[in-house]
Structure 1
Amino acid sequence: MGSATSELPSSRTPLRDTAETGLKIVVVGGFGVGKTTLVRSVSEIRPLNTEEVMTQAGAGVDRIPESTGKNTTTVAFDFGRISLNDRLVLYLFGAPGQKRFWFLWDRLFSGTLGAVVLVDTRRMDESWYAIDRLEHHGTPFVVAVNRFDDDTARHSLQEIRAALALPDHVPLIDCDARVRSSGKDVLITLVDHLHHLARERELTA
């Protein structure tokens, strides 16, 4: 899977006058899993990103899987915005994936209503930390499997759920981070999950 995205915004799209609710959403996952690509593909504004070219000096610090094919890395966060309808706006924060930047995640989680955990099945172990931190903070999340072209194993969603020890109530879906419609489906799944949890809290209150 390359990093090219579909339907990139060519100019800024102003926030709609009818917008009433803004939700902060964080996109987390391992290095090179597609977080920056997802934010870029769905954002209706030109995304802010803090990608820097990786240098040889960082080779001893960072373990860079060859499968990613990356030569840049996010050092702070990516930011984008998408309106799901006339009233609901999502503010997207893509977290850095390299382990030495994971300390920033707890700060990004502040004020977050929900999260997307992107998974690369070739490096599934890099997803566990993200899931652990979200559960620690009590932040609802969905898991999206970013299917890469060279992923020959093609594990089923049931196999992935078992490998990640995901509870049944956590949504797990396939996605292609390069495609706007696919990324939007992930975000809609998250919002639906948040609404469902809110209704459950109301019923048990």
Structure 2
Amino acid sequence: MGSAGSADRYLPDTVQQAVKILVVGDFGVGKTTMIGAVSEIEPLRTEETMTQASVGVDDLAGLDGKTTTTVAMDFGRITLSPYTALYLFGTPGQRRFWDLWAGLGEGAVGALVLVDTRRIEGSFEVLDQLELRGDLPFAVAVNHFPDSTRHSPQALREALDLEPGTPIVHCDARSRSSSVDALIALVKHALAMQKGPS
């Protein structure tokens, strides 16, 4: 796994399995940052500059310095092992773009839900959207910002009203290794869900 560059543009011949993953979450939780941190290819981004039209529509509380937003998707790739590659599709966070989720979710094995505990209420509707799909396994990754308060997994599980088996991991979306660990937790959970109870 190297940094984005021409040597990493093509998959190794050994890769036998490609896995599609959604990276979802509320507006401004770090989805674009995470995909940029882990992708071994130059990520595709559909970011646009935020304009006056978003004033009063997009809640920028706690998001000082945010000037762009994803309007369609982010896309990246990471080779987890010589045999498995993950294709990452980041969804827009604002409700007005949620119609795109259905198309992006086709063929996905799971979703990684990024959560910002400073603005946790924004995660409720995102989780509701996933639960409406019902068939898509997901894991929750708490993205820690410098001024985030740390909460126990049990407190987070209760606050987010998660099922007991839903994985909760902590990460820093800017960190490649931390983000990879979160993605691995999701893949393991999705595989366990496919196998069903032993």
Counterpart of 2:51 (choices 44, 51, 55) is 55
State the SS of the aligned residue for 1:79: strand
Can you give the 5+ residue segments of structure 1 that lack an aligned partner in the other structure? 1-6
Report the Cα offset of residue 10 of structure 1: 4.1
Partner of 2:4: 9
Report the Cα offset of residue 129 of structure 1: 1.7
State the SS of the aligned residue for 2:76: strand
Report the Cα offset of residue 12 of structure 1: 5.3
Matching residue's letter, 2:109? L
User: Is 1:147–2:144 an aligned residue pair?
Assistant: yes
State the SS of the aligned residue for 1:40: helix
User: Is 1:134–2:130 an aligned residue pair?
Assistant: yes
Instruction: Tell me the matched-pair count.
Output: 195
Can you give the 5+ residue segments of structure 2 that lack an aligned partner in the other structure? none
Matching residue's letter, 2:38? V
Aligned mates of 1:12, 1:127 — CA distance in 2: 37
State the SS of the aligned residue for 1:27: strand
Partner of 1:72: 68
Matching residue's letter, 1:36? T
Superposed CA offset, 1:103-137 (max 9, x none)? 21222112111000000001111111221222221
Matching residue's letter, 2:69? T
Partner of 1:31: 27
Contact 1:49–1:77 under 8 Å retained in 2: yes
Matching residue's letter, 2:24? V
User: Is 1:83–2:83 an aligned residue pair?
Assistant: no
CA RMSD of aligned residues (A): 1.6
Report the Cα offset of residue 24 of structure 1: 0.8
| Greater strand proportion | 2
Contact 1:8–1:41 under 8 Å retained in 2: no
Moved more, 62-71 or 98-107: 62-71
Moved more, 8-17 or 75-84: 8-17
Aligned mates of 2:34, 2:150 — CA distance in 1: 20
Alignment TM-score, normalising by the size of structure 2: 0.92
